[in-house]
Amino acid sequence: MLPVPGRFKLVILLAGLSLLTCPGWGQEVPSREGFRAAAGKKYNEALVYLWSNPWISDTLQAAGVDPQFAAAIVFPEVVRYSLLRDRMEVMGLLSLYVKYGRAYADFSVGRFQMKPSFLEQVEADAVENRIPAKVAEETPQTRLERVKRLGSPEWQVKYLAAFINILDARFKHKNWSSTEEKLKFYATAYNAGYTNSEACIRELIPAKTFYTTLLPGEPRYAYAEIACEYFSLFGKNEKPITL
């Protein structure tokens, strides 16, 4: 199970009581506190989801991945996750992606907001890096199977672990100055596309492109900063505290 710091256990008890709402369009909130305020109860709901599902940590550990490092990468997406929107986008994938491929539909789905194109790329790179992944010839049937995986929390965790292992293999000779530097890079690669060049990913680290509204709007935040905030608060606890 992911560690739950004692001083933050109250957050879980209050998760359903938060009355904070997202700020209006065009409002600029550049600070980390601004993101927590803008996310409102979704911030606490994301913590509850990650902390109350021990199988997430177990799956990541089995794949050789640090659970808290991985959780930090996807935490911003878990915050933004919307069940209603997710159902609409799954329907779009079933009607367009399955029949015609990602050129016609490539929506983000699930708690970790993964796209079919992301799964396709991870599958291809997993083979190259000898990381277990099932890859088959592209057909409507294989795309249907991929959509089913997108709708599965268990499979999303497996793809997250594969993504981290792929980057670990790609940058195995990289000397990171700190865990935070590595996390910012991996989180930006996850959000902006890990097939981008290293220089491009680094350039995008401070970019404020992440929003909490249903449609693109303001305020916007740097994805990597949100991930690092999670890790700085919850990712360095030596003794896990379970729910």
40 close to 21: Cβ distance less than 8 angstroms: yes
Mean pLDDT value across the chain: 80
- Is the pLDDT score of 37 beyond 60? yes
CA distances from 165 to 20, 70, 117, 121, 171 (A): 37, 11, 18, 13, 10
- Is the pLDDT score of 30 beyond 50? no
Query: Can you give the pLDDT at residue 2?
Result: 58
Count Cβ atoms below 10 Å from residue 4 Cβ, excluding itself: 21
CA gap 113, 229 in Å, rounded: 19
Backbone angles phi, psi at 194, to 5 degrees: -80, -5
Cis peptide before 219 (omega within 30 of 0): yes
Query: Can you give the pLDDT at residue 236?
Result: 67
CA gap 116, 74 in Å, rounded: 16
Question: 76-80, 209-213, 237-241: which range is least confident on average?
Answer: 237-241
CA gap 229, 232 in Å, rounded: 5
pLDDT one-digit tens code per residue, 141-192:
888 888 889 889 999 999 999 999 999 999 999 999 999 999 999 999 999 9
Query: Can you give the pLDDT at residue 55?
Result: 95
Confidence tier at 212 by pLDDT (50, 70, 90)? confident
Strand, coil or helix: 123: helix
Query: Could you tell me the two tokens for 149?
Result: 């995986």
104 close to 96: Cβ distance less than 8 angstroms: yes
Confidence tier at 129 by pLDDT (50, 70, 90)? low
Average pLDDT over residues 15-24: 31
Could you tell me which residue, 141 or 228, shows the higher pLDDT?
A: 228
pLDDT one-digit tens code per residue, 49-78:
998 999 999 999 999 999 999 999 999 999
Query: Could you tell me the two tokens for 21?
Result: 């709402």
**What share of the chain has pLDDT > 90, as a percent?**
49
* Highest-scoring range by mean pLDDT, 96-110, 199-213, 223-237: 199-213
CA gap 76, 220 in Å, rounded: 12
In the chain, the amino acid numbered 159 is Y
